[in-house]
Amino acid sequence: MEYPVWQLSAFGGGFWIIVIAVLHVYVAHFAVGGGLFLVLTERKARRLGSKPLLDYLHRHTRFFLLLTMVFGGLSGVGIWLTISVLSPQATLTLVRTFAWGWATEWAFFAGEIAALLVYYYGFDRLDAKTHLRVGWLYFLFAFLSLFTVNGIIGFMLTPGDWPVTHDFWDGFFNPTFWPSLVLRSALALLLAGLFGFATALGIPDAKARETMLRGACRWVVACAPVLLLSGWWYVGVLPEAVRDFVLRRSGEIAAWRTSYPFLLVALAAGAMALVTGLPLPLRRALTVILLVLGLGLVGTFETIREAARKPWLVHGQIWSTDIRPGQAAPYDAPFLPRARFAKVKQVTAQNGQEAGRELYAMQCLACHSVGGPFKDIRAYTAHIDAPGLEAYLTGQGKLFTHMPPFLGSAEEKAALAAYLAQGINGQKPVAQKPVDVTPTAIDLPPFDAASAPYLLIGFNSLGVVATAGCDGSFSLGVPGNTLAAVLVKRDVMPEVVTQDVTVTYEAPEGFKHPAARSDFWKYAKEIIGKKLDADVSFTGLAPDGTMAAGDKLYSAAGIPVTPYPDKGGVDPYPVFTLTAKDAKTGETLAVTKALAPASTEMRCFTCHGGAFAVDGVTGVSADTAKGILAVHDKRNGTDLASRARAGAPVTCQGCHQSASPNAGIDSKGLPGLLSLSAAVHGFHASYLAGGDATACSNCHPTSPDGVTQAQRDNHAAAGIGCARCHGYMEDHALSLLAFEKAAGKPAAARLMAPLSPRSVAAVADVRPRAAWTQEPDCLTCHKDFTRPEAKASAFNTWTKDAAGLFRNRKEDTGNIPCAACHGSPHATFVAANGYGLDGNNIPAMQYMGFPGVVGSAKRCDVCHTVEMQGGDVHHPNMERE
């Protein structure tokens, strides 16, 4: 932000840090352990009076000097040069904070150089005692140099109390100082043993060679368990959030973490193999392998340490982008005007790509390359288009803190997302076109208000039943809609009939074989735990069947329905026929139609890649599902992707409890895990924060331009979106998470931490609710059944339990379900979308000839055979002019 950016797009700054730093650390640690190796080997050689060992040591010292002083010194300068141009602000902070520490370390390093030169050139000039003293002096300087640098490096990850006290010693003797010192000391000794193998194999004298090989073996084998235990100690003193990230939440670190003990075992085993009498050529080859493994061990530890430090260069002080948090606050303010060396200061319609390039250079390039070997940005983003990348940028640094937050305005965020999608990945912007749907023509059964003895009203319990439609990968819900019916015997005082009558339902032609175009039945055994016959639902129902009599209504729960007609194409609104017959005589009493809406329109591909699976308009594709499972596995340590590949897909409700009517199983979930609704909304809220009500259509089939258009009720027609009842995404998620937090589920607090409510003042003001059983109460806005105020909101006032849900409630006399007259949830009358009025308002169109609440416009004659004189029989204020 305050300095120009070194443009290294092909490699990224991280590549050069890795190459130079790992090689330098490898040699620098050898410089410490090798110093002790020199003096102990010399002491042994002089004690034994072994000229072959002394000759070997002289040659080894020359190799040691050239490697550690020449290459080690130059690579050390290379590190300073690299970090000063990649991260000038962080480098300046380290220099200023530890000026005297660096001065001391450089003095020790100068002592190293002098002592080693005297040790080498005095090999045949100094007496044995003096020569050994010089060797011990070199090792002391080398260890003190390690001691000093260790404190400064540890400070970058765990500054301890320094941010509060700014005391030199608080920063130097930080929480990881001692475990890191033990680990690095053991690593230095192990590397001394490895390089001892490399030079000992050149000893002509067999006895001396075997002596040195056995000695070097002891160094390696003795240090391996110390490295393992000190590594565990090191991780144990990390801050809890960092430790959790290292041990559980980073897929990148997991591979390195597993490699660490494996490399230690391999090094110890290889060292022991070298002293078993193998042929000399084989020993040389094995030594090369061990040196490479040793380099791998150094790289593994340094990679874990660097990854654990992300998103910081200096923990809590400077991000990996070399920007201080204080410089960037407020984070959502325009960034470019504050960046001193930015060429573009404001995003416009004409300079979006150029602005995005500037933002990429200052906020991404420090870690990511473009097409390079290290953290290639294309590998992370090529499968996602600009809207999905905007979501990623919105959530960046919130739940997973290995990356700093995006800094900038909404316009700058869009510019960076567009540059990543189009400028780097070469995508072409695609304008989303509305799906062309055809209004449904329905042949409604006739109704004569003057003579009809009965009327039958059908409705479905949910406005639409949504499933992912990728059952070969995972299941978010199984095909199954619930239809309900009320049979009314028309009279002066109408009567609801539930005895001696049979009510059947019948799927329309083309929807009688749902298994033909759905994989659910293929994987039913894995998904719900039992094999199903084709076209039979998880509740045992077929597309045609008989409804069960209940309390004042008939119902069929779990009718197998998909949005895929046999002939092909997509139709989310199959129209079922309901028929009521006298159970004794078989006489038809009444016939009606009812929608059984089903949808697989989930736009998961926006963020997870892929596309719609069916006709480009609906269904989660296999590629998208693969991306979702990969993220779940990476973040939670699961193996869902491999299970899906093996033909054993999982149902999300198997682990995460769900009270959804189409869960398909007895979804109790696993102890301690969030409910499915809380987990899904709680996770995604960080990425969809700040959006309006249209954010819901990223996951739900509610887009007015989609193939389903599920949000089609009178609220939508009045411009009342999802947020007026459920709250914005953040509010909705917080209400669910608050309930889970009160139940003692630890993940709830973590997901709540980045979220701020938008409909109330504070998180504490959000009332907790149980998913699916506590929803916004209609009477919050419709107080005493009156028309609501213009800006009324139902958010934060929940039904007490499932009995208070709109889909389960009945009018005051307890006879007629609210949904029978008013329509299904999210499809209340007048309901309207691209499929026309007939299908969306069947009861009203059949019995009144116009859309509206059944019985509205003083049409009491729908049920009553005499003219009614007014009153609020069903509920207060029911009459409307």
Instruction: Indicate the pLDDT class of residue 881, thresholds 50, 70 and 90.
Output: very low
**Average pLDDT rounded to a whole number, residues 272-289:** 93
Residue 879 has pLDDT above 70, yes or no: no
CA distances from 556 to 112, 207, 474, 520, 839 (A): 85, 89, 26, 20, 20
CA distances from 198 to 117, 135, 278, 287, 561 (A): 22, 21, 15, 6, 71
* Arithmetic mean of pLDDT over the chain: 92
Helices (H), 201-316: 206-236, 240-244, 251-274, 280-309
Determine the 3-state secondary structure of 728 from DSSP: coil
Select from 1.10.8, 1.10.10, 1.20.1630, 3.40.50 the CATH code of 13-319. 1.20.1630
Nearest to residue 571, comparing CAs of 611, 615, 603, 539? 615
Give CA–CA dist 758/336, Å, rounded.
27
CA distances from 534 to 240, 517, 579 (A): 51, 11, 25
Instruction: Indicate the pLDDT class of residue 636, thresholds 50, 70 and 90.
Output: confident
Give CA–CA dist 692/723, Å, rounded.
8
Buried b (16+ CB within 10 A) or exposed e, 466-486: bbbbbbbbbbbbbbbbbbbbb
Do β-strands 454-460 and 588-595 pair in parallel, antiparallel, or remain unpaired? unpaired
Continuous segment of H or E residues that includes residue 489 = strand 481-489
Nearest to residue 406, comparing CAs of 354, 417, 758, 733? 417
Spatial contact of 862 and 849, defined as CB atoms under 8 Å apart: no
pLDDT (tens digit per residue) in 793-845:
899 999 999 888 998 888 877 789 999 999 999 999 999 999 999 999 999 99
Give me the percent of the chain exceeding a pLDDT of 90.
77
For the record, the structure tokens of 872 come out as 């609020």
Give CA–CA dist 880/859, Å, rounded.
10
Number of neighbours of residue 670 by Cβ within 10 angstroms? 9
Torsion sign over Cα 151, 157, 158, 162:
positive
User: Can you give the pTM of this predicted structure?
Assistant: 0.88
pLDDT (tens digit per residue) in 349-404:
999 999 999 999 999 988 888 988 888 999 999 999 999 999 999 999 998 888 99
CATH number of the structural domain 329-424: 1.10.760.10
Determine the 3-state secondary structure of 546 from DSSP: strand
CA distances from 674 to 412, 476, 733, 802 (A): 35, 15, 12, 19
**Average pLDDT rounded to a whole number, residues 616-630:** 95
Q: Is the peptide bond before 311 cis (omega within 30 degrees of 0)?
A: yes
Written as one letter, the residue type at 154 is G
Spatial contact of 177 and 154, defined as CB atoms under 8 Å apart: yes
Q: Enumerate the domain spans of the chain.
A: 13-319, 329-424, 454-599
pLDDT (tens digit per residue) in 724-757:
999 999 999 999 999 999 999 999 999 999 999 9
For the record, the structure tokens of 272 come out as 């022991």
Residue 307 has pLDDT above 90, yes or no: no
Give CA–CA dist 682/544, Å, rounded.
39
Spatial contact of 755 and 784, defined as CB atoms under 8 Å apart: no
Instruction: Indicate the pLDDT class of residue 15, thresholds 50, 70 and 90.
Output: confident
Q: Is the peptide bond before 830 cis (omega within 30 degrees of 0)?
A: yes
Residue 305 has pLDDT above 60, yes or no: yes
Continuous segment of H or E residues that includes residue 183 = helix 177-200
For the record, the structure tokens of 209 come out as 């060679």
pLDDT (tens digit per residue) in 651-693:
999 899 998 887 667 778 899 999 999 999 999 999 999 988 7
**Does 13-319 match 329-424 in CATH topology?**
no
Residue 5 vs residue 198, higher pLDDT: 198
State the first-to-last Cα distance of the chain, in angstroms, to the nearest integer.
Answer: 65
Select from 1.10.287, 2.40.420, 3.30.50, 2.60.40 the CATH code of 454-599. 2.60.40
The CA angle 317-321-327, to the nearest 5 degrees, is: 55
* DSSP letter string, 576-611: EEEEEEETTT--EEEEEEEE--EE----THHHH---
For the record, the structure tokens of 107 come out as 């003095």
Give CA–CA dist 734/795, Å, rounded.
12
Spatial contact of 594 and 587, defined as CB atoms under 8 Å apart: no
